[in-house]
Amino acid sequence: MPASPAGMSPPLTRAPRRYSVDAHAIEVPRLPPGLHIVATPIGNLGDVTLRALAALAGADLIACEDTRVTRKLLDRYAIETPLTPYHDHNAAKARPMLLRRLAEGAAIALVSDAGTPLVSDPGFKLVREVREAGHAVTSVPGPSAVLAALTIAGLPTDQFLFSGFLPPKQAARRARIAELARIPATIVLFETGPRVAATLADLAAGLGPREAALCRELTKLHEEVRRGDLATLARACEADALRGEIVLVIAPPQAAEQPSAEESEMLLRAALARTSLKDAVAEVADATGLPRRELYQRALALAKQSGNAMNEESGDGAPR
């Protein structure tokens, strides 16, 4: 079935609503009205969930980035739902049509070319306006390149920051890397083959010798994972002409070793000699990462010791 023109509204009732797996046709009910955010495979079409297939088959309309890409998935599972394009270049014109369809009671599935919609893809403005208009928004979760890369990178996953694509121009890219350097978490980035060597070189310069994983063509026939420090990966990529979709996973910065009690006391003494107790505590806390409450108690003790010493030198206990 051809894609629906942006201004056309296919009828809400159509038949059949079904998908097929291994030549077995499965009938599905019509989706409830509203916008349904449907995750699709990031490469291997076998990774689609049964719920996603039922949603795509049961929708009145599928909004997608590239109808040619989504058509491959629909053809694989014999889904005949009409398609309409929704991407960065037509979103401003397409959103009113989708909102009108929702107001008419339509069930619309939103998909990206691969993975979970809205993750480095268009869609958040549509979701916001759909919610503001009072329509339901439902998530049909599934594949995600971010999570797939995290699970095989062998790097900490308790805290991570996804930062999409870095800027293409070097000055802006290096400025963004400087901001990321302060993030105490694993960093996940998207990159393309032609740019990955330059990006890794800038990451190595800005982040230092951090461990990283380069995950290429995840779930596809030529899936590849390279591991090493950023500089080593950069040199390897300079020698290779990489192609395909790439996810970079970068280890968090190593926690700085906390100073010993003697070292922190020395820092407090130096700070107390030139500023107030409150400011001295704040200065040393920022420099060492030690708890302020702990430093405050130490500073009080040092200030008391200093005061007693002065009184002993004066001989009369009078303040000087």
Task: From first to last of the 320 residues of the chain, give the pLDDT tens digit.
Answer: 445 554 455 555 566 799 999 999 999 999 999 999 999 999 999 999 999 999 999 999 999 999 999 999 999 999 999 999 999 999 999 999 999 999 999 999 999 999 999 998 889 999 999 999 999 999 999 999 999 999 999 999 999 999 999 999 999 999 999 999 989 999 999 999 999 999 999 999 999 999 999 999 999 999 999 999 999 999 999 988 889 999 999 999 987 666 778 888 888 888 888 889 999 899 888 877 788 888 999 899 888 887 654 444 444 443 33
What pLDDT is stored for residue 313 in this prediction? 46
Pairing of strands 224-229, 186-192: unpaired
CB 267 within 8 A of CB 273: no
For residue 123, give every residue at least 6 positions away whose Cβ sits within 8 Å of its Cβ, in sequence order, or none.
37, 86, 110, 112, 117
The answer to whether position 71 is within a domain reads: yes
User: For residue 165, is it within any domain?
Assistant: yes
Q: What is the pLDDT of residue 254?
A: 85
The answer to whether the peptide bond before residue 33 is cis (omega within 30 degrees of 0) is no
Task: Determine, yes or no, domain membership for 28.
Answer: yes
Name the pairing type of β-strands 224-229 and 160-165.
unpaired
310 falls within a domain: no
Do residues 96 and 150 share a domain? no
How many domains does the chain divide into? 3
Backbone torsion region of residue 312, taken as left when φ is above 0, otherwise alpha when ψ lies between -120 and 50, otherwise beta: alpha
Give strand pairing partners of 241.
none
Sequence-distant contacts of 72-81: CB under 8 A, at least 24 apart: 72/45, 73/40, 73/41, 73/45, 73/48, 76/45, 77/19, 77/20, 77/21, 77/48, 77/53, 78/18, 78/19, 78/20, 78/25, 79/18, 79/19, 79/53, 80/1, 80/16, 81/1, 81/56, 81/57, 81/109
Residue 177 sits in the same domain as residue 265 = no
Asked whether residue 24 falls in the same domain as residue 112, the answer is yes
| Residue 139 and residue 165 share a domain | no
Q: 111, 143, 175 — which closes off a domain?
A: 143
Which residues on neighbouring strands pair with residue 255, listed in sequence order? Answer: none
Residue 135 sits in the same domain as residue 151: no
Please tell me whether residues 176 and 235 are part of one structural domain: yes
Of 125, 143, 161, which residue sits at a domain end?
143
Residue 231 domain boundaries: 146-250
218 and 116 in a single domain? The answer is no
Q: Which of 127, 123, 99 is nearest to 40 (CA)?
A: 123
Query: Does residue 8 form part of some domain?
Result: no
Read off the pTM. 0.76
172 and 80 within one domain: no
Q: Residues 24, 128: one domain?
A: yes
| CA dist 147 → 40, 143, 196, 251 (Å) | 14, 8, 20, 15
- For residue 4, being part of any structural domain is answered with no
* Residue 10, domain member (yes or no): no
CATH of the domain at 216: 3.30.950.10
237 and 267 assigned to the same domain: no
> What b/e string do you get for 37-74 counting C-beta neighbours within 10 Å, with b at 16 or more?
bbbbbbbeeebbbeebbbbbbbbbbbbbbebeebbebb
Amino acid of residue 80: E
Whether residue 311 lies inside any domain: the answer is no
Angle at the Cα of 187 (from 193 to 42), degrees rounded to 5? 50
Q: What pLDDT sits at residue 320?
A: 35
154 in the same domain as 137: no
